[in-house]
C-alpha cells in the first residue's frame, strides 16, 4: 500500500512527460488527489492501538544490511495525511500563478511529493536519508526558478544550509552503523544498539544540528525567512506545511532515542528547551516588526516550530503528542496564511503590508477565511492550534513549571503580530486606490482555503481520534527515551 503511495506521483510524472503543457496542471492535481484517497482507505484498516503497520520490506544493498523498508505508525500516519492534503492544495494553488515552464514545475511538485511521503514512512536509515536529501532538489528548483526577486540567493542559501546539515546526518549515520556494529540500517535496530556515551553524544549532536537546520531551531533559522518569502506560494505552503516537519520528525525518530545513551540528558534537555523558548519569543517579536507580509508569516513559523521542539524536549507524553499535533496544525494554519498572501500577491504583485489596508470591505470572503487562519494560528480554543499548543504547554509545565511560564508570553505575542497584521491589511478604510477594485476569492482560491478552514474547526472541536492515534507510538518512543 505504502509503496503505491510512493509510486503514484512517480508514475504520474512519467505520464506527465508525454502530456501537452496545458493539461499538466489538471493531471498533477488528479495524481496528487490519489494520496488523500489512498490514505482515507488506509485509515479504515489502521489500528490506532497497533504499532508499525502497512509494513513492506525488501533487500536493497544486502552487503551493508540496507533495506527498502517502509511502514507507518500513528505519528507517521498523521503527518502523511498532512502531506497528502498540503501537496494537493499546493498544486491547485499553482494553477494560475505558475505560467512559465509549466511542465517542469509540476514535475517538480510530483517528485517532491514522493520524497516527502518517503521521509515519513522510511524505517531504514539509508532510505530515510535518500528521501530526506532528495526532497531538497525539487524544492531548490521551485524556489530558484519560480521564486520572487531574490530567488537565487534564497534557493542557494536554502540548499547549502540544509545540505551542510545533511552532511552531519550522513556522518552520524555511518558512525552509528559502525559504532553499534548493528550490521543493518534498520532504524529501530540502530536505536537499540549499544553505544559509548561519547559516541552517542557525537552522533546525537550531529543529528540534532542536521534537523535543527531543517526545523529550523534558533539560531539556525535565518534561511527560513528568505526561502519562504522568495518561494512561489505553493513552495511556501509546502515548505512550511511539510518540509519543516521533516526536521522535527527526524528529531523524534533519530535524535530522541539516542538521548539517554549520551548520559547527559538533563543538560541537553535544558539547553534545547531554552533554545526552543528563545525561538518562541524571538520569532514572535521579530514577526511583529516585519514590513513584508510573507516574511511576517515566515517568522511566525520560527515561533511555532519553537513550540514543537519545546514539546519534544519536554520528554513526556503530553509534550511529544502535543508536538506532533502542533506539527500537523501548524502545517494547516500556516499553509492557509501563505495561501492568503498568495491570493493578494497574485492580484497586486507586492508583499508590502503598507500597500494594503481595508481589504475586508472589498473581499469579505477572503477576510473571513484569513480570520479563521489567524485565530487557528494564534491558538484559539475550538480551533486546531489550541489543541497542540495547549498539550505542549501542559507537557512543558509538567516537565518543569518554569518552562511553561516562559512559553506562555509567546501566546500573547502571537495574538499581537497576527492581529496587527490583520488590522493593517484588512481593516480600516481603503487608502490605496489600487485596492479599490480587488476581486474577492475565486472559486479555485476558495477551494484551496475552505477545506483547510474546515480542518481547523474539525480538529479543534473533536481532536480525540488524533490523540488516540498518538497514544501508542508516543508511549513506545518514551520507552526508548527513558
Partner 1 sequence: MVSLNPVFMIPLLPLFGAALMLLIGKGLPRAVVNLICCGVMAAAFALSLIVPRGTFEIAQWLPGIGADWAFLLDDLSVLMMRLVTGVGLLIHVYSIGYMEHDKGYYRYFGYLNLFVFFMLLLVMSDNFALTFAGWEGVGLASYLLIGFYFDRKSAGDAANKAFIVNRVGDCGYLLAMFAMLSVAGSLKYSEVFARVDASSATLIAALLFVAACGKSAQFPLYVWLPDAMEGPTPVSALIHAATMVTAGIYIIARSQAIFSLAPDMMPIIATLGAITALLAATVAMVQHDIKRVLAYSTVSQLGLMFVALGVGAYQAAVFHLFTHAFFKALLFLCAGAVIHALDGEQDMRKMGGLRKNFPFAFWMMVIGTLAIAGIPALSGFISKDDILWEAFRYSTGLWVMGITTSLLTAFYMWRLIEMTFLEESHHGEPHTLPYSMQIPLVILAIGSIFAGWAPLRGPKEHGGTLEYVLMAAATGAALLGIWLAHKRINFLSPFHFLFKRRWYLDEALLAVFVRGFAQGGGSFLAAVDRNVIDGGVNAAGFMTRQFSRLSIFWDTWVIDGLVRVSGLMVKLSSYPVRVLQTGSVQSYALMILAGVAIFLGWALTK
Per CB under 8 A, residues contacting partner 1 are 157, 160-161, 219, 221-223, 282, 285-290, 358, 360-361, 368, 375, 380-382, 387, 390-391, 393-394, 397-398, 401, 404-405, 408-409, 411-413, 415-416, 419-420, 423, 426-429, 461-464, 467-468
Q: Which is nearer to partner 1, 131 or 375 (CB)?
A: 375
Question: What is the DSSP secondary structure assignment for residue 253, as one 8-state letter?
Answer: I
CB of 155 to partner 1, least distance (A): 13
CB of 396 to partner 1, least distance (A): 8
162: cell is: 540544509
Residue 191: burial class (beta carbons within 10 Å; 0-12, 13-18, 19+): buried
Q: Which is nearer to partner 1, 206 or 395 (CB)?
A: 395
CB of 394 to partner 1, least distance (A): 6
Q: Transcribe 150-182 into DSSP letters.
A: THHHHHHHHHHHHHHHHHHHHHHHHHHHHHHT-
* Spatial contact of 330 and 305, defined as CB atoms under 8 Å apart: yes
* Spatial contact of 108 and 24, defined as CB atoms under 8 Å apart: no
Q: Which is nearer to partner 1, 19 or 288 (CB)?
A: 288
CB of 416 to partner 1, least distance (A): 5
Q: Which residue, 180, 175, 205, 202, is CA-closest to 191?
A: 180
- For residue 57, the Cα-to-chain-centroid distance in whole angstroms is 27
Helix (H, G, I), strand (E, B), or coil: what is residue 330? helix
CB of 17 to partner 1, least distance (A): 36
- CA dihedral sign of residues 89, 90, 93, 95: negative
Q: Which is nearer to partner 1, 37 or 160 (CB)?
A: 160
Q: Which is nearer to partner 1, 71 or 457 (CB)?
A: 457
CB of 298 to partner 1, least distance (A): 12
Q: Which is nearer to partner 1, 26 or 462 (CB)?
A: 462
CB of 312 to partner 1, least distance (A): 18
CB of 143 to partner 1, least distance (A): 16
Give the Cα separation of 71 and 62 in Å (integer). Answer: 20
Torsion of CA 8, 14, 16, 17, to 10 degrees: 170
- For residue 194, the Cα-to-chain-centroid distance in whole angstroms is 32
Q: Which is nearer to partner 1, 94 or 290 (CB)?
A: 290
Q: Which is nearer to partner 1, 68 or 153 (CB)?
A: 153
Buried b (16+ CB within 10 A) or exposed e, 410-443: bbebbbebbeebbebbbeeebeeeebeebeebee
Amino acid at each position: 500500500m505504502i509503496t503505491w503511495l510512493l509510486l503514484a506521483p512517480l508514475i504520474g510524472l512519467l505520464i506527465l512527460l508525454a502530456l501537452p503543457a496545458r493539461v499538466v496542471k489538471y493531471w498533477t492535481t488528479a495524481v496528487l488527489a490519489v494520496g488523500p484517497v489512498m490514505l482515507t482507505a488506509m485509515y479504515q484498516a489502521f489500528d490506532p492501538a497497533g504499532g508499525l503497520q502497512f509494513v513492506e520490506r525488501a533487500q536493497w544493498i544486502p552487503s551493508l544490511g540496507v533495506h527498502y523498508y517502509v511502514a507507518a505508525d500513528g505519528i507517521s500516519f498523521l503527518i502523511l495525511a498532512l502531506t497528502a492534503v498540503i501537496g494537493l492544495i499546493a498544486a491547485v494553488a499553482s494553477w494560475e500563478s505558475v505560467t512559465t515552464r509549466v511542465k517542469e514545475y509540476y514535475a517538480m511538485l510530483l517528485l517532491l511529493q514522493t520524497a516527502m511521503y518517503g521521509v515519513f514512512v522510511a524505517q531504514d536509515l539509508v532510505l530515510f536519508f535518500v528521501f530526506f536529501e532528495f526532497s531538497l532538489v525539487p524544492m531548490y528548483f521551485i524556489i530558484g526558478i519560480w521564486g520572487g526577486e531574490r530567488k537565487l540567493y534564497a534557493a542557494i542559501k536554502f540548499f547549502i544550509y540544509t545540505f551542510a546539515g545533511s552532511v552531519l546526518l550522513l556522518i552520524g549515520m555511518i558512525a552509528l552503523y559502525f559504532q553499534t556494529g548493528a550490521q543493518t540500517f534498520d532504524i529501530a535496530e540502530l536505536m537499540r544498539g549499544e553505544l559509548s556515551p561519547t559516541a552517542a553524544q557525537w552522533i546525537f549532536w550531529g543529528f540534532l544540528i542536521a534537523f535543527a537546520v531543517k526545523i529550523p531551531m534558533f539560531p539556525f533559522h535565518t534561511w527560513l525567512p528568505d526561502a519562504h518569502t522568495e518561494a512561489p506560494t505553493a513552495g511556501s505552503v509546502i515548505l512550511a506545511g511539510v518540509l519543516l516537519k521533516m526536521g522535527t520528525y527526524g528529531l523524534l525518530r533519530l535524535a530522541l532515542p539516542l538521548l539517554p545513551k549520551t548520559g547527559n540528558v538533563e543538560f541537553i534537555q535544558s539547553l534545547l528547551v531554552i533554545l526552543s523558548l528563545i525561538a518562541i519569543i524571538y520569532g514572535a517579536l521579530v514577526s511583529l516588526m516585519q514590513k513584508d507580509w510573507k516574511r511576517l508569516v515566515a517568522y511566525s513559523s520560527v515561533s511555532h516550530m519553537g513550540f514543537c521542539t519545546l514539546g519534544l524536549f519536554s520528554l513526556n507524553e503530553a509534550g511529544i503528542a502535543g508536538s506532533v499535533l502542533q506539527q500537523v496544525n501548524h502545517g494547516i494554519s500556516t499553509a492557509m496564511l501563505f495561501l492568503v498572501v498568495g491570493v493578494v500577491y497574485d492580484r497586486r504583485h507586492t508583499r508590502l503590508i503598507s500597500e494594503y489596508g481595508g481589504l475586508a470591505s472589498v473581499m469579505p470572503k477572503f477576510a473571513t477565511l484569513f480570520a479563521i487562519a489567524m485565530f487557528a494560528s494564534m491558538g484559539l480554543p475550538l480551533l486546531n492550534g489550541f489543541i497542540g499548543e495547549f498539550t505542549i504547554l501542559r507537557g512543558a509545565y509538567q516537565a518543569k513549571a518554569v518552562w511553561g511560564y516562559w512559553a506562555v508570553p509567546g501566546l500573547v505575542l502571537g495574538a499581537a503580530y497576527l492581529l496587527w497584521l490583520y488590522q493593517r491589511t484588512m481593516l480600516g478604510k481603503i487608502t490605496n486606490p489600487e485596492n479599490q477594485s480587488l476581486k474577492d476569492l475565486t472559486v479555485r482560491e476558495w477551494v484551496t482555503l475552505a477545506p483547510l478552514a474546515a480542518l481547523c474547526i474539525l480538529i479543534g472541536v473533536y481532536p480525540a481520534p488524533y490523540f488516540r492515534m498518538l497514544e501508542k507510538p508516543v508511549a513506545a518512543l518514551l520507552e526508548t527515551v527513558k
